[in-house]
Amino acid sequence: MIEVNEKIAIDHGLKKDEYKKICELLKRNPNLTELGIFSAMWNEHCSYKSSKKHLKKLNTKGKKVIQGPGENAGVIDIGDDDAIVFKIESHNHPSFIEPYQGAATGVGGILRDVFTMGARPIANLNSIHFGSPSNKKTKSLLRGVVQGIGGYGNCIGVPTIAGQTSFDESYNGNILVNAMTLGLVKKDKIFYSKAAGLNKPVIYVGSKTGRDGIHGASMASAKFDDKIEEKKPTVQVGDPFTEKLLLEACLELMRDDSIIAIQDMGAAGLTSSSVEMASKGKLGIELHLDKVPCREENMSPYEIMLSESQERMLIVLENGKEKKAKEIFDKWNLDFSVIGKTTNSKNIELYFDKNKVANIPIDLLSEEAPEYDRKWKKSKLPQKIKFTKKDFKNLKITDVLKKILSSPNVCSKEWIWEQYDHTVMGDTIQKPGGDAGVVRVHGSEKAIAATVDSSASYCYAHPLSGGKQIVCETWRNLICVGAEPIAITNCLNFGNPEKPENMGEFVECVEGLNEASKYLNFPVVSGNVSFYNETKDKGIKPTPTIGGVGLIKNYKDMITMDLKETGNIILVVGKTEGHLDQSIFAKEILNEKKGPPPEINLFNEKNNGETVLKLIKDKLIRSAHDVSLGGIMTGIAKMCIKGKKGINFYKYKGLIDKFEFFFSEDQGRYIIEVKKENVDKVKKILDKNSNHYDLIGEVIEGNISINDEPTLSVDKLADYNKDWLNKYMVN
């Protein structure tokens, strides 16, 4: 075996000091297998060494939280003994190197995190971010990622109900692929990863172990350079068919209580799953690596411990249950092997060919893992841009609207979500393209709404405001479908934490999202951090992605954003101040990329959201949509397109310029459609709750009519909205 030295340790991604610490803690030099294990457990991806200090501050508690961060996924209570298990996770680095497999295994990994806990997955979501459309890699990466997400989710038979796609040049060398899964479980049938009891059999189930993905977790914590494509062999290969079998077999085994602890083999494979289960149970673990089912010959202990082959699980079973458990896995044609047992040594002890090949105290891998207090730089709020009448001269609202609707970040993403099976399982009652996806809780009156959001431009301009904004947008999106927001999961995609600017972005985004999460009583129950999203020293814009989950008590109360009937009145709830900085209008039309993001007023956000939700519950709202990218005009146009209806705008008499009114991206606003006979009732409720509102128009057939401008046909607008992506992908 190779003698381990400092150079080999550095090649494993460890720092000099970290290697020194390992030798001191062990009181000897590690052997190669041990070094591999340390490097996997101590890297950023598994240890959260740069982020831990800040994540500890997160608001993770709430009346409906059954399980917060620290498990395979978070769990929330949705009443009647039902619980929802959910989490979002990144698969950025592998997806850039090999988009199909990277994205596919991202979906596979997050699905396993959810069914590991005993839940049947009921919905998938994703948030994907690509470089500028003109970048030569963008198209093939987009195609590969979409096919990968579809290839995995469609095959396993879990509907992909919502998502988000953005383009920005900061992702040219580092795309982002964040996948989220929700699962349904009975409250008393949740499984955890904490091992308990001595001499309990440790079982390996699922696919065989191969040489794929060795050091995937370390790669996920590395910066990219020109030679990154050489890392292709570190990308795992997904097999959704085996995952489907594994899902069914695990759920079958979970019907009784033979499982003590279960953990999927995700990042750092057998290493992290065994260490985490033992560590949580304050136990030791002994593994016999020759018993691990391998798909390649002559695999070394080092390779077996670090392989990231997919579709595998590690289970600590009750004694005497092995035979019955094996029958289930045999039925599903999956490998089942007793590979070790729990011990009281508090060490991880590995054997191969009867030789002891590694022996490490588990504390050294978990609690003693490094934790850094990285230097970080505070961001200043950029100066506000003073837009004047002159800036809007020669502009027509209708032209601006056409341009915005066909811009890459606003255009319809139907080309993408039509490739995802969003109806399998037969409970999807709101498909992608709305404010949130909604699925019924099978066999009940309840429904679950879910959404993913991020706003990298806002976060880049001012991380603190940006962090708050995303949480608020997630909350609004859930309210727009009539759901009560319950909790969130976050996927924190950032650049290099060793750079104070990037670390500052992280710290302040987290602070912002935490502030909003506390104020809105919208706790974080799970999440993941992805650092080192940088190529050749250029990092991505800070992109925290928030996945939100809400409950609709009776699915018949769900509403959608498409306009319903002519004659109804359109109102905007929430005040329009005219904030154009960082808006799509400023960037796409005025070519102005500076300025602060819109301000967040948490009081108004909460107050407006709660009132709108009440109006929906009282059945006073026919359709609703939040005002986000592109402002009121873009929001209404989308409602028209979806409902195949038009709008006749009332004459605009406000104090701010009409372009500011129609295209600003002030937060905390909703567009609602109300029946004429209910308008007075709605106004009264809004007044009583001190919600600002504007009446802006009336639903008509087929056209958008803005008093002194030419009429726009909604059918044509729909084409503008849909064509950009279709043409981009075909040409």
Partner 1 sequence: MKSSVIIFPGSNCDRDMDVALKKFGFKNKMVWHNDNVIPKSDLVVLPGGFSYGDYLRCGSIAAKSNIINSVIEFANKGGLVIGICNGFQILIETGLVTGALLRNKYLKFICKNIFVKANKTHNKYFNKIKKDILELHIAHNDGNYFCSQDDLKSMQDNDQIAVRYCDSNGEISENSNPNGSIQNIAGVFNEKKNILGMMPHPERVIDSCLSSNDGSYFFENLLSNMK
Binding test (CB under 8 A) with partner 1, winner from 29, 258, 345, 423: 423
The correct pick among 70, 198, 229, 241 for binding partner 1 (CB under 8 A) is 241
Binding partner 1 (rule: CB under 8 A), the pick from 150, 183, 485, 596 is: 150
Which span (14-22, 223-231, 233-241, 363-371) binds partner 1, by CB under 8 A? 233-241
User: How many CB atoms sit inside 10 A of residue 335's CB?
Assistant: 18
Considering the rule CB under 8 A, would residue 157 count as an interface residue with partner 1? yes
Across 688-710, b (16+ Cβ under 10 Å) vs e yields eeebbbbebbbbbeebbbbeeee
> Cα–Cα–Cα angle for 452, 453, 456, nearest 5°?
145
The reply on whether position 117 binds partner 1 by CB under 8 A is no
**Of 39, 95, 154, 493, which one interacts with partner 1 (CB under 8 A)?**
154
Coil, strand or helix at 487: strand
Taking a C-beta distance cutoff of 8 angstroms, is the pair 131, 165 a contact?
Answer: no
Q: Is 245 in the site for partner 1 (CB under 8 A)?
A: yes
Does 258 contact partner 1 by CB under 8 A? Answer: no
Report the residue from 298, 333, 388, 731 that binds partner 1 according to the rule CB under 8 A.
333
Q: With binding defined as CB under 8 A, does residue 242 bind partner 1?
A: yes
Of 359, 398, 419, 566, the residue at the interface with partner 1 (CB under 8 A) is: 419
User: What is the closest distance, in whole angstroms, from the C-beta atom of residue 653 to partner 1 in the complex?
Assistant: 41
Of residues 333 and 591, the one with the C-beta less far from partner 1: 333
User: Which is nearer to partner 1, 155 or 513 (by Cβ)?
Assistant: 155
3-class secondary structure, 662: helix
- Does position 332 interact with partner 1 (CB under 8 A)? The reply is yes
Catalytic position from the list 12, 54, 91, 422? 91
Site string (373-412) toward partner 1, x via CB under 8 A: ----------------------------------------
Task: Scan residues 554-593 and list those touching partner 1 (CB under 8 A).
Answer: 555-556, 558
How far apart (Å, rounded) are the C-alpha atoms in residues 482 and 447? 10
Q: CB of residue 715 vs partner 1: minimum separation in angstroms?
A: 14
Q: Is 56 in the site for partner 1 (CB under 8 A)?
A: no
420 touches partner 1 by CB under 8 A:
yes
Write the CB contacts of 20 (distance below 8 Å, at least 6 apart in sequence). none
The nearest distance, CB 423 to partner 1, in angstroms, is: 5
- Taking a C-beta distance cutoff of 8 angstroms, is the pair 45, 366 a contact? no
Q: Which stretch binds partner 1 (CB under 8 A): 399-407, 421-429, 457-465, 597-605?
A: 421-429
The DSSP secondary structure of 342-353, one letter per residue, reads EESS-EEEEEET
**Binding flag, residue 265, partner 1 (CB under 8 A):** no
Member of 14, 314, 425, 488 binding partner 1 (CB under 8 A): 425
CB of 343 to partner 1, least distance (A): 36
Query: Is 212 near partner 1 (CB under 8 A)?
Result: no
How many Å apart are CA 88 and CA 110, to the nearest integer?
7
Catalytic residue flag (residue 12): no
Among 85, 107, 156, 176, binds partner 1 (CB under 8 A): 156
Which residues ranging from 623 to 682 are in contact with partner 1 (CB under 8 A)? none
Q: Does 320 bind partner 1 (CB under 8 A)?
A: no
Q: Report the C-alpha gap between 172 and 535 in whole angstroms.
A: 9
In the complex, minimum distance from the CB of residue 424 to partner 1, in angstroms, rounded to a whole number: 6
Both tokens assigned to 295:
């798909």
Between residues 399 and 723, which has the closer beta carbon with respect to partner 1? Answer: 723
Reference 189, options 102, 252, 256; nearest CA is 256
Separation in Å, CA 81 to CA 64, 69, 78, 320, 486: 12, 21, 7, 30, 16
Q: Which of the stretches 133-141, 269-277, 288-296, 414-422 binds partner 1 when contact is defined by CB under 8 A?
A: 414-422
Query: Dihedral (C-alpha) 53, 58, 63, 64: value to the nearest 10 degrees?
Result: -100
Instruction: Report how many residues bind partner 1 under the rule CB under 8 A.
Output: 32
Q: How far is the CB of 125 from partner 1 (least distance, A)?
A: 15
Please confirm, yes or no, whether 91 is among the known catalytic residues.
yes
Is 428 one of the binding residues for partner 1 (CB under 8 A)? Answer: yes
Q: How far apart are the first and last CA of the chain?
A: 53
Q: Does 440 bind partner 1 (CB under 8 A)?
A: yes
CA distance 638 to 715: 11
- Of 227, 389, 426, 651, the one binding partner 1 (CB under 8 A) is 426
For residue 430, give Cα distances in angstroms to 474, 478, 577, 591, 638: 16, 12, 32, 36, 16
Neighbours of 3 (CB within 10 A): 8
Helices (H), 520-655: 584, 602-617, 631-643
Q: Which is nearer to partner 1, 330 or 677 (CB)?
A: 330
Using CB under 8 A as the binding rule, whether residue 553 contacts partner 1 is answered as no
Catalytic residue among 45, 129, 288, 422, which? 45
Residue of the chain from 122, 316, 405, 429 that contacts partner 1 (CB under 8 A) = 429
What is the DSSP pairing of strand 447-453 with strand 437-440?
A: antiparallel
Q: Which CB atom, from 245 or from 260, has the smaller least distance to partner 1?
A: 245
Would you list the DSSP string of 515-527?
A: HHHHHTT--EEEE
Q: Which of 239, 276, 534, 694 binds partner 1 (CB under 8 A)?
A: 239
- Asked if 332 and 240 touch (Cβ cutoff 8 Å), the reply is no
Is 715 a binding residue for partner 1 by CB under 8 A? The answer is no
At residue 307, the 3 state secondary structure works out as coil
Which is closer to partner 1, CB of 475 or CB of 555? 555
Q: Which residue has the tokens 């038979």?
A: 157
Q: Is 418 in the site for partner 1 (CB under 8 A)?
A: yes
Of the listed pieces 154-162, 304-312, 348-356, 649-657, which binds partner 1 according to CB under 8 A?
154-162
**636: alpha, beta or left? (left if phi > 0; alpha if psi -120 to 50):** alpha
- Biggest alpha carbon–alpha carbon distance for the chain: 86
Q: Which of 21, 45, 374, 422 binds partner 1 (CB under 8 A)?
A: 422
Q: Walk across the sheet containing 312-317 and list its strands.
A: 259-264, 312-317, 201-206, 335-343, 284-288, 347-352, 355-361
Residue 21 vs 431, nearer CB to partner 1: 431
- Among 102, 106, 240, 284, interactor with partner 1 by CB under 8 A: 240
- 256-288 burial, b at 16+ Cβ within 10 Å, e below that, comes to eebbbbbbbbbbbbbbbbbbbbbbbbebbbbbb
Q: Which amino acid is at 194?
A: K
Minimum distance, C-beta of residue 696 to partner 1, in the bound complex (Å): 30
Closer residue to partner 1 (CB): 332 or 522: 332
- Token pair, residue 258, equals 């033979």
Which span sits near partner 1 by CB under 8 A: 550-558, 612-620, 661-669, 704-712? 550-558
- For residues 630 and 626, give the distance between their C-alpha atoms in angstroms, rounded to a whole number: 11
Please enumerate in sequence order all residues whose Cβ is within 8 A of that of 690, keeping only pairs 6 or more positions apart, or say none.
607
In whole angstroms, the minimum distance from the beta carbon of 211 to partner 1 comes to 21
Q: Is 214 helix (H, G, I), strand (E, B) or coil?
A: coil
Catalogue the E-assigned strands of 433-478: 437-440, 447-453
CB distance 102 to 94 below 8 Å: yes
Calpha distance 45→41 (Å, rounded): 8
| C-beta of 186 vs 331, nearer to partner 1 | 331
Active site residue ranges: 45, 91
Binding site for partner 1 (CB under 8 A): 147, 150-151, 154-157, 239-242, 244-245, 332-333, 417-426, 428-429, 431, 440, 555-556, 558
